[in-house]
């Protein structure tokens, strides 16, 4: 497939050598939209805004500078920006914040591969080559209900103990190569440490497990005029979810998708990072092959080469057995549709 997952990364550096390194990184990582800090006098405000939107930050400088810069804004591992530090020689890259839930570790690996740098990973499960429950939740679009359970599960794994996992029958498992740390149990009544359930368990049931994971199920397909900003897109989507689904975006959305013409649409990228979900783009050729009964627009077809973007993108992102649950809704140059994705465990690591 030609579909791509696009990320936005903001970059800060202070020397000419660091700038030259950044240009090398930029040239080698074209599926990332890079934004460099032009005015160093607004570094604090720039960092604050980045954390408010959970946008990844790369500092090409001393780790102490990065640490002092981000310190006032670090609040919650579930929403903090992923932060990475790199020396200006390009020898080492270190994720120092939000390695799993913010995907900082994977960003480090991507950059290191492209310029032959050494990623320095410090998260306990990764260092020991073990299964990470928070990483598992992120890559499979699972909501972590009782977040305090992450530390308890990781502690058991690092102590060499097995983790018993109950997964409801309604949730399919296509992932192969189950980690050695995991033991699946078939019945809800069996003793287990993790419960992956279609809906959040009631308190008395939830307390039987260290952690309860629930699949996020909605894929947002979005079309918009050029220049629509983060707040416009977020407010529109929140209104839709409040009125149609009576749900909060961050708890239910598993992906954002659009046409590849929107790969560098900053508002969409910022919105995806705020949600901590992938931003997937499709070519017009891919979108036209989407199966379903979609609304059509001659104007959209003239501009994009496909008569509908948002509905088709949502259905493609939802994958096999996914279906449209909200047709195109339009407001002020933006269109949003929603498809429901069938719950699926696709990857363990």
Query: Tens of pLDDT along 193-209?
Result: 999 999 999 988 888 99
What are the distances in angstroms from CA 308 to CA 16, 63, 289, 293, 294?
46, 47, 12, 11, 7
Q: Is the pLDDT of residue 3 over 80?
A: no
| pLDDT per position as a tens digit, 252-271 | 999 999 999 999 999 999 99
Backbone CA torsion sign across 173, 174, 175, 176: positive
Question: Does position 337 have pLDDT exceeding 90, yes or no?
Answer: yes
User: Among 139, 22, 138, which residue's Cα sits nearest to residue 84?
Assistant: 22
pLDDT-based confidence at residue 187 (cuts at 50, 70, 90): confident
Q: What is the pLDDT of residues 148-164, one digit of tens each?
A: 999 999 999 999 999 99
Q: Is the pTM of this model over 0.85?
A: yes
Sheet containing 211-215: give its strands across: 142-144, 211-215, 194-196, 163-167, 182-185
The rounded distance, in Å, linking the Cα atoms of 277 and 137 is 12
- pLDDT confidence band for 2 (50 / 70 / 90): low
The answer to whether residues 101 and 75 touch, using CB atoms and an 8 Å cutoff, is no
**pLDDT tens-place string over residues 273-315:** 999 999 999 999 999 999 999 998 888 888 888 989 999 999 9
The residues near 295 (Cβ < 8 Å, ≥ 6 apart) are 308, 311, 327, 328
Q: pLDDT by residue (tens digit) across 87-113?
A: 999 999 999 999 998 999 999 999 999
Name the one residue in this structure whose structure tokens are 């449209």. Answer: 324
Per residue in 238-255, pLDDT (tens digit) is: 999 999 998 889 999 999
| pLDDT for residue 1 | 46
**pLDDT tens digits, 107-158:** 999 999 999 999 999 998 988 889 999 999 999 999 999 889 999 999 999 9
Half-sphere exposure of 334 (CA within 13 A, CB side): 23
pLDDT over threshold 90, residue 4: no
Is 221 within 8 Å of 330 (Cβ atoms)?
no
Sign of CA dihedral 342, 136, 180, 160: negative
Tokens of 220: 């947002």
């Amino acid at each position: 497939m030609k579909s791509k997952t696009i990320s936005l990364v903001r970059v800060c550096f202070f020397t000419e050598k660091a700038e030259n390194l950044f240009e090398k990184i930029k040239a080698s990582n074209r599926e990332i939209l890079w934004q460099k800090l032009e005015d160093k006098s607004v570094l604090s405000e720039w960092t604050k805004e980045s954390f408010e939107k959970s946008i990844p930050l790369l500092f090409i400088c001393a780790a102490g500078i990065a640490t002092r810069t981000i310190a006032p804004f670090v609040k919650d591992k579930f929403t903090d920006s992923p932060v990475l530090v790199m020396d200006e020689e390009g020898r080492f890259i270190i994720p120092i914040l939000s390695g799993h839930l913010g995907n900082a570790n994977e960003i480090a690996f991507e950059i290191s591969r492209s310029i032959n740098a050494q990623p320095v990973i410090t998260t306990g499960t990764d260092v020991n080559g073990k299964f990470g429950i928070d990483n598992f939740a992120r890559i499979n679009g699972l909501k972590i209900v009782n977040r305090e359970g992450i530390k308890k599960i990781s502690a058991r794994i690092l102590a060499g103990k097995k983790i018993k996992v109950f997964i409801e029958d309604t949730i399919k498992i296509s992932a192969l190569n189950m980690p050695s740390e995991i033991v699946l149990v078939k019945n809800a009544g069996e003793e287990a440490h993790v419960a992956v359930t279609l809906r959040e368990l009631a308190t008395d049931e939830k307390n039987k497990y260290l952690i309860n994971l629930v699949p996020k199920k909605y894929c947002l397909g979005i079309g918009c005029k050029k220049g629509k900003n983060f707040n416009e897109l977020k407010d529109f989507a929140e209104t839709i979810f409040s009125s149609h689904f009576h749900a909060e975006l961050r708890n239910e959305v598993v992906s954002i998708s659009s046409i590849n013409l929107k790969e560098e649409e900053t508002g969409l990228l910022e919105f995806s990072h705020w949600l901590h979900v992938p931003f997937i783009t499709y070519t017009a050729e891919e979108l036209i092959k989407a199966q379903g009964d979609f609304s059509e627009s001659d104007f959209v077809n003239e501009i994009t080469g496909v008569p509908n973007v948002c509905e088709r993108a949502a259905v493609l992102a939802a994958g096999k057995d996914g279906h449209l649950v909200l047709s195109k809704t339009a407001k002020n140059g933006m269109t949003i549709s929603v498809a429901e994705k069938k719950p699926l465990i696709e990857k363990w690591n």
